[in-house]
Structure 1
Amino acid sequence: MTSISFSAGVLAGGKAERMSGQDKGLLLYQGKPMVLRVIFALQGVVDEVCVNANRNLESYANLGFRVIEDDERCKGKGPLSGLFACLTFAKTSHLLVSPCDTPCVSSAAFEALMEAAKVDPAKIHYLQEGYAIHPLHAVLPVSKTLSALSLFLENDNRRSVMAFYEVFGCSPVEWHNGTELLNVNTPSQLA
């Protein structure tokens, strides 16, 4: 049996257009930067966490974590660019990913993804709550996903995370605590 190891990446490289361009990961939610709240949940289950960011790099680095920018070949391709950057960084068999704007996510949600990966390590697993899918809360087999994503980004004009997952092979992990998956996209949600 192949040994499975996990690292994690937090996706904070978006443009935050619905947040008036403010860097969402650095905005405070209940007194802490949102990115830190996600990192703390990930640190409950993995030893190594990186942050994918494309601006305010020094501010992210000052939080004490390695910051990975999008690869020039992938810039402008949405969250897939961030996934590619984090996969390139990973030195483990599997990578957990999470967006920076879900500050209520728990370590238990990531543990559920890790359990799914241990049962079926060749697939991408992502969280789902009823009909709501959360493809950026996921665990990906690093080597195979990196190769497949590289080809997908070169040959496919779609920027959809789910389109890539479906081409690759994926499976949802049902998560029943939807409040943990709150996505903070607007100033009113931040308050």
Structure 2
Amino acid sequence: MNELTLNYPFDKNTLSAVILAGGQGQRMGGIDKGLLALNDKPMICYSSALLCALIPHVFISANRHQERYAELTGCPVISDAMGWGEFDQRFEGPLAGMLTGLTYAKTDYVLFTPCDSPLISAELIFSLWENLHQQNADLSVASHGERIQPVFALLKRELKDSLLRYLQTGARKIDRFYQQHRMAIAVCSDADVFLNINTPEDHASILRKISNPLP
């Protein structure tokens, strides 16, 4: 995809993106949700196409089918189990994927999105950036209505050590980690951005909303 013609609120070279595809898909019978087909294209292709058009450095955090993800997206694939000493386990939840991303990124800021939300927008990404800086925060997280959407988030890379210490205590609650730091909220009025796939019914609903399949 060609780079989108947009007014960037940030220096693109200061930002990396990580698509979180490391879950077990338990509510979908154990399938790898990033590879689930939408209009004959694996779901990972939707979010990776947008992010690669916006951001120079995009990674896939995956614990299965790493070669397939690399082939589909052209992005480097990183795993949750990559040399953290005692904390070296797979399938530890989204914070483990975030720690991987903060470890391997070389930029000051790292954006995180889930693999099973193909309707993510550039506007949401820009809002996360703008709110983090306007509120002088350590991280910003998306929200729609009354609650946050914690896996749509922008973090300073310097939070890596704090996150590692948090995980080493055995804690896994993403909201509690966020609350330990200065957190900005980026409100998004478009609820479709946060639609994800946890059931076959979710899959059918998203299919109906994707009006322009990838070529």
Structure 1 Cα separation of the partners of residues 100 and 195 of structure 2: 24
Give the total of aligned pairs: 187
Assess, with a 3 A threshold, how the Cα gap between structure 1 residues 120 and 138 changes in structure 2: closer, same or farther.
Answer: same
Q: In structure 1, what is the equivalent of residue 8 of structure 2?
A: none
Could you give the per-residue CA deviations for residues 90-130 of structure 1, whole angstroms, max 9, x where no partner exists? 11000000000101111111111122233345421010001
Q: 1:57 to 1:125 in 2, by over 3 A?
A: same
Match of residue 96 from structure 2: 81
Q: TM-score, normalised by structure 1?
A: 0.91
Matches within 5 A, 1:109-120: 109-120=124-135
Query: Quick one: which of 27, 31, 38 aligns to 2:36?
Result: 27
- How many angstroms does 1:141 deviate by? 0.2
Paired with 1:36 and 1:170, the residues of 2 have a C-alpha distance of 30
User: Over aligned residue pairs, what C-alpha RMSD do you find?
Assistant: 1.7
CA displacement at 1:88 relative to structure 2: 0.8
Secondary structure of 2:180's counterpart equals helix
Matched, 1:48 2:48: no
- Aligned partner letter, 1:70: D
1:173 aligns with 2:182: no
Amino acid at match of 1:37: Y
Match for 1:116: what amino acid?
N
Q: Is the Cα contact below 8 Å between 1:12 and 1:25 reproduced in 2?
A: yes
Match of 2:75 in 1: 65
Conserved? CA contact 1:74–1:81, under 8 Å? no
Q: Mark the structure with the bigger radius of gyration.
A: 2
The letter of the residue matching 1:183 is: N
Q: Which moved more, 1:32-41 or 1:16-25?
A: 32-41
Aligned sequence identity (%): 34
> For the Cα contact (< 8 Å) 1:29–1:103, is it kept in 2?
no
Unaligned segments of structure 2, at least 5 residues: 1-10, 205-215
Deviation at 1:43, TM superposition (A): 2.3
Check if 1:11 corresponds to 2:20. yes
Question: What's the TM-score once normalised by structure 2's chain length?
Answer: 0.82
Contact between 2:132 and 2:184, CA under 8 Å: does it hold in 1? no
Structure 1 residues 122, 180: CA separation in 2 closer, same or farther (over 3 Å shift)? closer
Q: Which runs of 5+ in 1 are unaligned?
A: none
